[in-house]
Structure 1
Amino acid sequence: MIKTLAIANYRSIRDLAMELHGLDIVTGANGSGKSSLYRALRLLAECAGGDSGNVVGSLARDGGLASTLWAGPESISKAMRSGDVAVQGTVRRESVSLKLGYSGDDFGYLVDLGMPTPGGAGFDQETGRPRPSAFSLDPEIKREQIFSGPVARPGSLLVDRKGSLARLRGPGSGWTELSRRLDTFQSMLTEVSDQDRAPEVLRVRDSVRSWRFYDHFRTDADAPARQAQIGTRTPVLHHSGRDLAAALQTLREVGFERQLDAAVDHAFPGSRLEIAVNDGRFSVELSQPGMLRPMKAAELSDGTLRFLLLTAALLTPRPPELMVLNEPETSLHGDLMPALAGLIV
């Protein structure tokens, strides 16, 4: 289980180390940093690549590192905290970097992203000066660390990457070279795949790739969840909800039928969920008391469809080490809150 998340210098978050307890709810007023926390977690997950994407590419599409860094002062004085002096940005004196990380039961991971160094496009053969790169919005991965235990200390480091060089702790206190050709725009989690020498890297990569983010289920008329889709066994609901019917049918066939029916009945008393299959295409139908026929997915209300999507996500037979639901109560009537809370718990 993940025990701690750490973020520094990302948007409205100056320096945060947050302990996790199994079920954590983040709430607060608009502008208090909830979205920054969520987006920082997405960036951390993208260090592992896979379906999550690429952390450097995501930052570049967001306007580059300069537009996502903490814009306030490097340090906050007592006068600022008390309100006697306004909190405002100043000229930076220290190196600029965005730091993300987590620690868990077995391993922890930290990544430090900074501004690109001059000469990213090589050097001009005539002048000997560095040529500016066209990829000016790409930050660079300055350092990565994998460590054991809850805190990254010199004695707990297992893999340490600086620039293009990655080192592996050997027997005793010595270090051996793991790679010296890492690109500054690629995480070592995606570039190092030596199962025999560095199983910790693969363990961390697989762990982070298993994280799931359900932040925006479409419920409009053209939403994928409302359309019939080719169905295959789906133990993990896609983040878009496009394979909802297949995920719900999978729950029935792998032994979660009782839990699924109980969740639907808790939310919509007397209702029965059905999955219609026609030429391999799966679609959701809901039979409700007083209705002469089942309601098809295209006819369900936004709140009903969203609840079924959350049900498929939360009842997964393959729970991840981290699942993030962003405003799961959106579009849900207050009467559905106890059923949703039961699923989350």
Structure 2
Amino acid sequence: MLQRLTLSGFKSIKTIDIELHPLNILIGANGAGKSNLISFFKMLNEMMAGRFQQYIGTSGRAQSLLHFGPRTTPQIEAELEFQVENGVDTYHIRLFHAAGDSLIFAEETLSFLETGRVVPRVDELGAGHQETQIIKAAEEGKQTARTLRYLLNRCRVYHFHDTSSTADVRQSCYVGDNRWLMPDAGNLAALLLRFRDEDLGYQRIIGTIRLIAPFFDDFVLEPDISNRVILNWREKDSDRVFGPHQFSDGTLRAICLATLLLQPENELPELIVVDEPELGLHPYALNIVADLFSKAALHTQILISTQSSSFLDNFDPDDVITVNREGKESQFSRLTSTDLEAWLDEYSLGEIWEKNVIGGGPH
């Protein structure tokens, strides 16, 4: 589990040092900085895929990533501590502003502190490189690098907001692209086909979708001659086959979330990061999705942001992190049940948030 994150100099985040739980819910006003924390994990995803410089280019260059630009903040520094079976693995990076409004690694360090020891084993990966060296170190057989590469690769950000007619999730995909769910669910049909054929919780996913969309019967997943499959489906009491373009945006997002959270436990990412999963969902569907997140947190780690007070009602205060914009920086604070005990006797957590008792609001 990712037990601690320290981050400084990234977008609106001047500095944070926060302990993470199995389930973490970010709440805050628009522009407070919730999405900036999530975009840090997106940057990590691209970094571990060897696309760090590409990510910088498509994100508005380094000036958009550094806290109020390179003149104010010349570097980004981050440290992620993972609790593993026999100790703590730590990944530390320092990214410095460079020519061409880019970022380079001024420092990249891996360490492992074995349980019962006081001095960690440290691997320095050098400085001045444009892409992470953890991939090379892992391929050379360094154990700490292999473990951390695996963990960082499995901290995955999912974004199901694009359900337009041209979105990948509404198009056909190659049946072999089914190892894990893509960040935009572009291979959803291929993954569901594998779950169905290998009996990997497919019926549980179907049953959950029926709770959210009672008209839904089942998917019709039939690869064509070029080994591509599309998300066709049937309605209850009908033989007619519908295409993915006939799903509403909210229903399609709910299907993506159900598939993500109900996949086999051994295939779940180490950390699931989702920005505003409530988008386009009916309040009843929201309660079902919230329950899916809570149950998934028994087997993996969850980090989500929300703007919905009714969605928030499904969680405990200890799961919640409020995000407030104080001047030019985002401040992150975890709630505690004991501090809200008197309020919770009369109000739900969402109502307390709306009353601006716990922060994370526009006032």
> What range is the shorter-chain TM-score in?
0.7 to 0.9
Identify if the C-alpha distance between structure 1 residues 193 and 290 changes in structure 2 by more than 3 Å, giving closer, same or farther.
closer
Residue 325, structure 1, aligned to residue 311, structure 2:
no
Task: Please point out which of 92, 95, 100 is paired with 1:110.
Answer: 92
CA distance in 2, matches of 1:111, 1:17: 15
Q: Which residue of structure 1 lines up, in the alignment, with residue 2 of structure 2?
A: 2
RMSD in angstroms over aligned alpha carbons? Answer: 2.8
Q: Which has the larger radius of gyration?
A: 1
Letter in 1 for 2:152: V
* Per-residue deviation, residues 270-308 of structure 1 (Å, max 9, x unmatched): 632222315243232343346563432121111111111
TM-score, length of structure 1 as denominator length:
0.73
Identify if the C-alpha distance between structure 1 residues 294 and 335 changes in structure 2 by more than 3 Å, giving closer, same or farther.
farther
- SS at structure 1 position matched to 2:93: strand
Q: Which residue of structure 1 lines up, in the alignment, with residue 110 of structure 2?
A: 146
Identify if the C-alpha distance between structure 1 residues 241 and 217 changes in structure 2 by more than 3 Å, giving closer, same or farther.
farther
User: Any conservation in 2 of the 1:303–1:332 contact (CA below 8 Å)?
Assistant: yes
Residue 257, structure 1, aligned to residue 187, structure 2:
no
Offset at residue 193 of structure 1 (A):
3.8
Identify if the C-alpha distance between structure 1 residues 235 and 275 changes in structure 2 by more than 3 Å, giving closer, same or farther.
farther
The list of structure 1 runs, each at least 4 consecutive aligned residues, that deviate by more than 6 angstroms after superposition, is none
TM-score, length of structure 2 as denominator length:
0.70
User: Any conservation in 1 of the 2:112–2:144 contact (CA below 8 Å)?
Assistant: no
CA distance in 1, matches of 2:169, 2:63: 37
* Per-residue deviation, residues 188-215 of structure 1 (Å, max 9, x unmatched): 213324544x221122112212222112
Extract unaligned runs of 5+ from structure 1: 73-90, 117-134, 164-182
Residue 185, structure 1, aligned to residue 130, structure 2:
yes
Map 1:278-317 → 2, pairs under 5 A? 278-279=223-224, 280-289=227-236, 293-317=240-264
- Between the two proteins, the alignment pairs up a number of residues equal to 283
Q: Which has the higher strand share?
A: 2
CA distance in 2, matches of 1:139, 1:237: 29
* Per-residue deviation, residues 60-100 of structure 1 (Å, max 9, x unmatched): 4434334422239xxxxxxxxxxxxxxxxxx86xx832012
Extract unaligned runs of 5+ from structure 2: 295-363
CA distance in 1, matches of 2:139, 2:215: 54
CA distance in 1, matches of 2:181, 2:21: 24
Q: Which residue of structure 2 lines up, in the alignment, with residue 31 of structure 1?
A: 31
Identify if the C-alpha distance between structure 1 residues 68 and 284 changes in structure 2 by more than 3 Å, giving closer, same or farther.
closer
Letter in 2 for 1:189: I
Offset at residue 227 of structure 1 (A):
2.5
User: Any conservation in 2 of the 1:190–1:205 contact (CA below 8 Å)?
Assistant: yes
Q: Which residue of structure 2 lines up, in the alignment, with residue 178 of structure 1?
A: none
Identify if the C-alpha distance between structure 1 residues 68 and 232 changes in structure 2 by more than 3 Å, giving closer, same or farther.
closer
